[in-house]
Amino acid sequence: MRTRLPAALATSALSLTTAVALAAPAAAAPADKPRVLSSWTQTSASSYSAWYAAYGNKGAWSAYGFNWSTDFCSTSPDNPFGFPFKLSCARHDFGYRNYKAAGSFSANKARLDDAFHADLRRVCTRYSGALRSSCDATAWTYYQAVRAFG
């Protein structure tokens, strides 16, 4: 024979279950978060490509708790002289913000800045002649700015 819980007891049990579920800590980020972060912030074109694919599908990475916010190139133009630096700046912001949150920014800053410069230089490979020289010089200026002030 089945017994039924009185309605008040059932409601109390449900409230207790709900309270425990709400009080439980949020799921921790996957253990490989540092590895993924590192793989997306290297100087190589493949690292940039992997980050770009994830950037386009941020929801798939929500369990990792990455900070995807960006102000792009901050107070500098995102597309100086028509050179499209905006996404390079976004990846640089991603690295800065996530390594700061992880408490390991100073150990990674130089590599993040070098990756930024590599990304900018890859943008410049689209050009030739004087435009290429101008792009490379602008990339160098942006790189020097983040090294000094980033």
Tokens encoding 64: 């990792």
* Spatial separation of the C-alpha atoms in residues 136 and 122, rounded to whole Å: 9
Q: Judge whether 117 counts as a catalytic residue.
A: no
Distance CA 51, CA 74 (A): 20
Q: Which of 92, 117, 118, 135 is catalytic?
A: 92
Q: How many CB atoms lie within 10 A of CB 55?
A: 18
Q: Give the largest CA-CA distance in the chain.
A: 89
Catalytically active residues are: 92
